[in-house]
Structure 1
Amino acid sequence: MKIRALTLSLVSVATLAGAVPPAANAQGLRAAGVPQAPRLSSPSVTLPAPGAGTVTRSADFIVAVVNSEPITNNDVQIRMERTRAQMEAQGVRLPPQDVLAKEALERLIMDKILLQNAKEMGLKVDSYAVSQAVKSVAQQNKLSEEDMYRRLAADGISKEQFREELRNQMLVQRLRERDVDARVKVSEFDIDQYLREQRSASAGAAAANADINLGHILIAVPEGASNELIEAQREKAKKLMAEIRSGKDFFAAARESSDAADASQGGLMGLRSVDRYPELFVQATQKAAIGSLVGPVQSPAGFHILKVVDRTLSGVPSVAVQSHVRHILLRIGAQLSEEQAAQRLEDYRSRIASGQATFEALAREYSQDGSAQGGGDLGWAGPGRYVPEFEQVVESLQPGQISQPILSRFGMHLIQLIDRREVKLSQREQREMVRDLVREKKLDEAYVHWQQEARAQAYVEYREPPQ
């Protein structure tokens, strides 16, 4: 199957490592009224297709200076080539060359400004966090780290360069969480206003305009596949669908068998308007009831199995998949480094696996947050309750499974998924989900303004145009 173009987006990398830990009490949870970074329904950091990173370089020269740091023509060409490969892989029409060059240069300028600001504030990303991010990227692409580095090297991206790019983007994300998130507040009035707007907008709308949440499993078909392989994949999809109809958990099946980027989230694509879904998916599910299964549906990418998880005209889900988890938290500081905390949690994990101790007992003894007294139990929680880097791990676990040590903005965690269920949400729970939706919208707006402010305060000198 063709591997997608390299995407090292700022927000994507936010799910891979934690930000600066706040002073408030921390359980990996979103504290009521405390804004967090926006969540992505399917975070994706993917590798370039073979040859995607190959750039024919001319003589290099400086095209811009940002606060005394240069950006070269080669820098722009590399960014353009990655953007071009990504757009082609997604089937997006390419803009003219001069427009692509201008956009690439402006993104490089903005990246450099934010990175400079992060370093001026003394923000750092330890090697452990970078290694954790690298491991996550490899897992997303279903490759070993060695194979991933070989793929990158074939496209002219060294191991050191890749790690440095991840480190830089994680630095900027920590800057954002420090400078932007604290600005955003969501009041009860904001929630009421959102609900009024949604009711007004949906009053005369047809059901086709409803927001929907689909579960998705992709059985991929490679480009140029033979008729025999296509039929084999079709049969594989039919067999998997029959297993789900016979009682196999859809979300477990997605994690085990789906070739889509959202597989680690159990195939959940998230509640969104129909215009943000592929037309093929909308047409296939428009008459399907909540909870029903549709497919296999064929597309050029392969065969899709779809589950209608929720449908709503108000923009507020009526049902959600909840997870019951417990955790052990070790805070990072002068007395405990990230690597030391990870080693301790690895030891706890081994002791649990060997039967020498229980998760609950170790949590009561060692966990450094308010859940310790209850054996680390965080109760039942739906989407959006945990910060993204914590939630991503929870969604990847099977009931009873214990994670590897995971770094979040609060510290180092060991997480166990106790169980998972699908429930009808109470009015209070629906309002909390609306709070997350409103927060995401406000965060996006605040992030744009923040970038504009940073750009206005920086010194940028344009030299020769990129060639």
Structure 2
Amino acid sequence: MPATTFLAACRRALPLLAACVALNAAAQAPSRGAAQSADYIVAVVDRELVTNSEVEQRIAGARREAQQSGQPLPSAGELRRQVIDQLIEERAQLSAARDSGVRVDDPELDRAVANVAQQNRLTLPELRERLARERIDFARFRANLRDQILLERVREREVQNRIKISDADVDALIASRASGMAPPEFNVAQLLFALPESATPEQVEAKRQLAERALARARGGEDFTKLVNELSEGAKEQGGALGLRALDRLPDLFATAVKDLRAGAVVSQLVRSGAGFHVLKVIDRRDGAVMVEQTRARHVLLRPSAQLSAEAAAQRLREYKQQIEAGRATFAQIAREVSEDGSAQQGGDLGWATPGQFVPEFEAVMKTLAPQQISDPVTSRFGVHMIQVTERRQTSVDRKQQREIARNLLREQKFETAYAEWLREVRARAYIEIREPPQ
């Protein structure tokens, strides 16, 4: 297997292994003696170093990709400034991750290395041998892998902790999309203290006192069916339950009293009607379902790195799309061979998804695709995607699912802002020293 193929397989086996690419670039750098003569420290970021050899490797990679993709590059001075800035940002994040207290223990790292071997159909000795042939030191490979796992974990934790979503936010989003919502259904049991039409004030008061005592017992946890059988002057079948009904099919007085109650709750006050005093308990509640469109899609994901720009990744995906449309390959074959996502082994299949399950950039394009249509390259925070919709269907979701969908949508809406804020703070806290080239 050629070096580039093996390293792509490393990234496909575990997305965090962009480190494989960096290590391969280092292996293809000038010999040790030549590198040492030209190498020096460009920047110090806390306890991390940015060296001139790294900068030159990044610049060389950017130029190769620009040549392959036909994309223009900034001037040499501006390109160098951008590369140094990117490396400083990476080092600042890594320094913050090291100081976070999060650790990646050896057994977890062993599992990650084993996963790389397994996904590439190699034993661990074969993986070591292959890395050696690529001039990648195994200990350095593990160290880079540990850093990448640590950094991804801290990023996720820090950004998610900054995203605050209140119940009011969720309620507001659901209310804004509430068309098509079926009313909730309730099974309400009643304990009735009946009053004749011509009841005297004394009779009313006597019944009210009996009903208040029954209400107190019910709210105190006594078995409601037992209370109905013992005290109710209404129907006692099914423990006084009226059966499951939509809220708008309950008597108005009952609907008003129970609409905000959960299953198992007893009303806090007596309900007075023309028939007498009622003690009500919600036996069951089923919140209204709403019909949503679910989509089944698959994708191919390429993750930009120091050696693969976003533009070059997009160009590769365009070429894959042409191969599929020309019948020279299938979508599933391409996904299994090159996709850097966990879905690769399933041909890129992502399963059935409800709205809000994917990042906004991905979902916005997915919505526009007809079944079997393949998208142009789509960029998200995870990388560059090629998407194909395979099926669509209408399905109902209950209130709990609705709230989860709404929460996911709000979380994605706030992610980029929270991530950018975290990056600014990490860089602002870091000690950064830019050094001049040696004379």
| TM-score interval (norm. to shorter) | 0.3 to 0.5
For the pair shown, the structure with the greater C-alpha radius of gyration is: 2
Which structure has more helix as a fraction of its residues?
2
